[in-house]
Amino acid sequence: MEKKGLESWGSQNVMIVLAGYVDLSSGIAWEIWANEERSFPIGMGLIGPLVCALDSFVRELTLAKRGFHEGHLEGLRMLVYQPEAMGDKSFHYVVFQDLYDNAEYTRRKLDRVHELIGDYLEPNSFNPPKARLENAEDVLRYTQKFPKDAITADEPLVKNMMDTLYKQGGVRFLDLFLADIDEGMVVDFIQSELIEKAPARLFHDILESVEFEESLYLETIADTRVTKGLGLQSLHRILLEAWYVIPLKNSKLTDFYLVGYFAFNPNRILCQEIQSTLQNVSYKLYEKIKEYLPDSPAWIE
């Protein structure tokens, strides 16, 4: 899945560009880690006052205790996060990451970072022990690289599954692909489009906020673009369209999802049957890549 507007930010292997913390009582901010493969034009000296100003604005405007916690800047997302373990301190972690990457995943990382260096956050200095800082940096840069040779676009397992669902229940896949939580689409199983594919933004909006270890199923009445694209606009039948996002996992979590977008007639096949079939395929796809993956760190499990 192409990430529009991100070309200037360099490598897409690690979603985080910059991580630091800011003292909201003073506006002073300190850098924790910067991605060496990604250039970022703004330093923490400017980010601290910016976050403080945005936080004050949000609190005054909405009367919300939480304050500012997220903003979009072209191809980037700025997250401001305070772990529960922080208590009533005025420090907040600040992260700049790719716009469409999963926010919950980053917050999970920051919880672990806080366990490592939270005791060393000070308003006027940041001098954690070297070993703890290096461990925190490892957490922030952690990602899994998809083994692209293990699964290709013409994967027989997937093709057989689509053929079977179509023959048995008339299920028409409009999009089906493997996605990486911090790289977007990595394998596209549908090369020729039956209709114009659903906007990538919809999937991005789903993936950026969903609990990354959970499946998600969304269903609605098919709109006219879908029915016309499938040649069904003149048929008097119920047609549903659905997104199903399934993490590839079994014994351990991964950074990868199987994402399906399909149309079906609920009078011919139940959505539970489609979900069960896709889940079974996701387990088998996981088996194809598991030997290439590093062990997940403890903070993910």
Q: What is the mean pLDDT of the chain?
A: 81
What pLDDT digit, counting tens, does each position of 30-40 carry?
A: 999 998 887 78
CB of 240 within 8 A of CB of 219? yes
With CA atoms as reference, report the closest residue to 255 among 189, 188, 178.
Answer: 178
Q: Which of 50, 10, 9, 11 is nearest to 29 (CA)?
A: 50
| Element containing residue 156 per DSSP (H, E) | helix 156-169
Per the CB < 8 A criterion, the answer to whether 242 and 206 are in contact is: no
Q: Which residues contact 6 (CB under 8 A, 6 or more apart)?
A: 12, 75, 98, 99
Contacts of 268 (CB under 8 A, 6+ apart): 169, 170
Common-topology check for domains 7-141 and 156-292: yes
Convert the pLDDT of each residue in 222-236 to its tens digit: 776 666 666 655 454
Are the C-beta atoms of residues 181 and 213 closer than 8 Å to each other?
Answer: no
- pLDDT at position 203, please? 58
pLDDT of residue 234: 47
Q: Give the up-direction half-sphere exposure of residue 288: CA atoms within 13 A in the CB hemisphere.
A: 19
> Which residues are bridge partners to 210 per DSSP?
none
**Span 20-35, average pLDDT:** 94
Residue 69: DSSP 8-state: -
Instruction: Answer with the residue of higher pLDDT: 48 or 201.
Output: 48
**pLDDT, tens digit, 9 for 90 and up, residues 245-269:** 898 886 566 788 898 989 888 888 9
Residue boundaries of the structural domains of the chain: 7-141, 156-292
Which of these, 179, 245, 217, 133, lies nearest to 15 by C-alpha position?
179
Higher pLDDT, 95 or 88: 95
Beta bridge partners of 246: 258
Q: Regarding the domain delimited by 7-141, which CATH topology (the fold level of the hierarchy) does it fall under?
A: Beta-Lactamase (3.30.450)
Asked if 274 and 264 touch (Cβ cutoff 8 Å), the reply is yes
Which range among 47-51, 72-76, 109-113 shows the weakest confidence by mean pLDDT? 72-76
Residue 74 pLDDT > 80: no
The residues near 144 (Cβ < 8 Å, ≥ 6 apart) are 180, 254, 255, 256, 293, 294
- Lowest-confidence pick of 52-56, 165-169, 179-183: 179-183
222 CB-contact burial (10 Å; exposed 0-12 / middle 13-18 / buried 19+): buried
**Mean local confidence (pLDDT), 10-33:** 83
Length of the chain: 301
Poorest-pLDDT segment among 24-33, 152-161, 201-210: 201-210
Pick among 3.10.20, 2.70.70, 3.30.450, 3.40.50: CATH of 156-292 = 3.30.450
Strand 216-221 and strand 184-188: the pairing is unpaired
Cβ count within 10 A of residue 14: 19
